[in-house]
Amino acid sequence: MALPTILVTGATGKTGSAVVAQLLQNGWPVKAVVHARDARSVQLDQLGAQTVVADLFDPEQLELAMRGTKRAYYCPPFHPYMIQSAVAFAVAARRARLESIVGLTQWLASPRHPSLATRQHWLVDHLFSMIPNVAYTIVNPGFFAEYPYLRLTRYAAHLGIFPMPGDPGSQNAPPSNDDIARVAVAALVDPARHAGRTYRPTGPQLLSLRDMADILGKVLDRNVVHAPIPLWMFYRAAGMEGTSAFELSGMRHYIQEQNRGTFAFGGPTEDVLEATGRPPEAFETIARRHAAMASMQRSMARQLRTLLEFVSVPMRRGFNAEQFDHRLGLPIPVKTQLNMDNPRWLAEHTRLALAQADFAVHRAVAGQ
């Protein structure tokens, strides 16, 4: 019997591209949804995917893209109107009679969160879970290893600094893009086993920002120190990297969550192992991939170029998150709360953490 074709949105993105590659490696036919034809979509074609251009905000284009597919990975666009994309996707999925959806969402998802993106993720989780006759699986990581932590690795490689806002002692167990994708792929290829489940992929160990700087120093073979840059400076540096204004708008809240211990809460988890049968990648393993990139190899020219770029950051165009939110007229709940102040979020996520602890106990007993 032929394997069903799996639809992947965000197919040129961080997790979407990994989902496409892993599915194809395992012999599954993939229809990859892309925003436009470019070098990245050509790479997907070369891997063996069927690429299709579709607007994620257009239900008719999505329904056309879904023809001939039965399962889908929904990677939401980081956009103020992401909820429109999700509703369009849900309508198209219902009309196309999809059997299962795996959705990428957030560990932080909450209806009271000050970040609009995070509130919308909570809505999407509930929307997709209500689609009749569709098995829905949630994959909700916190901060990824590759973003934001390793986004500015070249400063560590060439200047010996790890520029990341936040309390140096604040902790997270960040997962790799590949591990997030592996969890999604496991649910896509066996939806009956994973239907209704919520997986929070993490790395194997809680690490502070100081720990991450030390690991970067180890893999780069140089001394690296954490530089707790102010948020305004991070905005400018991340903007130079192409981070969108909407992503930057939410970042101020996410840094607060990190400082409050929300990413450390209940972590690390065994979810990658439970879903895929293999342990998650260590931060050092992920960092070594970045350190091996050509742009990270030290030279006088790269060091000078990076130094000039870094000292120019304060002179770059600034970003005011409050003005951005006001200009867009983003909806704001009557009461907003960070998650460590939200009794409902704490209760729900404590239950998830306890369920994960039960799995770890059962696995340890079975291994005896």
Q: If DSSP codes are grouped into helix, strand and coil, which group holds residue 284?
A: helix
Structural domain includes residue 9: no
Structural domain includes residue 363: yes
Mean pLDDT, residues 55-66:
96
Cβ(205)–Cβ(283) under 8 Å? yes
Mean pLDDT, residues 65-89:
96
Which residue in the block uniquely carries the two structure tokens 């939110």? Answer: 325
Mean pLDDT, residues 233-248:
87
Structural domain containing residue 255: 99-367
Minimal CA–CA distance to 191: which of 127, 133, 137?
137
127-137 in b/e burial notation, b at 16+ Cβ within 10 A?
Answer: bbeebeebbbb
Domain count for the chain = 1
Question: Percentage of the chain with pLDDT > 90?
Answer: 79
Structural domain includes residue 23: no
Helix (H) or strand (E) segment spanning residue 260: helix 245-260
Query: What residues pair up with 8 in beta bridges, in sequence order?
Result: 32, 73
CA atoms within 13 A on the CB side of 363: 15
pLDDT confidence of 165, banded at 50, 70, 90? very high
CATH, residue 221: 3.40.50.720
Per-residue pLDDT at 362 exceeds 60: no
Lowest-pLDDT range of 30-34, 126-130, 323-327: 323-327
Say whether pTM exceeds 0.85.
Answer: yes
Lowest-pLDDT range of 1-5, 89-93, 245-249, 301-305: 1-5
Q: How far apart are CA 185 and CA 294, in angstroms?
A: 30
Q: If DSSP codes are grouped into helix, strand and coil, which group holds residue 203?
A: coil
More confident residue, 211 or 267: 211
Structural domain includes residue 1: no
Q: How far apart are CA 90 and CA 8, in angstroms?
A: 14
Cβ(36)–Cβ(61) under 8 Å? no
Structural domain includes residue 358: yes
φ, ψ for residue 342, nearest 5 deg: -105, 105
Structural domain includes residue 338: yes
pLDDT of residue 357: 62
pLDDT confidence of 358, banded at 50, 70, 90? low
Distance of CA 297 to the CA centre of its chain: 27
30-48 in b/e burial notation, b at 16+ Cβ within 10 A?
Answer: bbbbbbeeeebbeebeebe
* Torsion (CA) 321, 322, 324, 328 in degrees, nearest 10: 140
Query: What is the per-residue pLDDT across 252-266, written as a single tens digit (0 to 9) for each?
Result: 999 999 999 999 999
What average pLDDT does the chain have?
93
- Residue 181 vs residues 141, 147, 161: alpha-carbon distances, Å: 11, 15, 30
Structural domain includes residue 11: no
Cβ(105)–Cβ(124) under 8 Å? yes
Structural domain includes residue 136: yes
Per-residue pLDDT at 365 exceeds 70: no
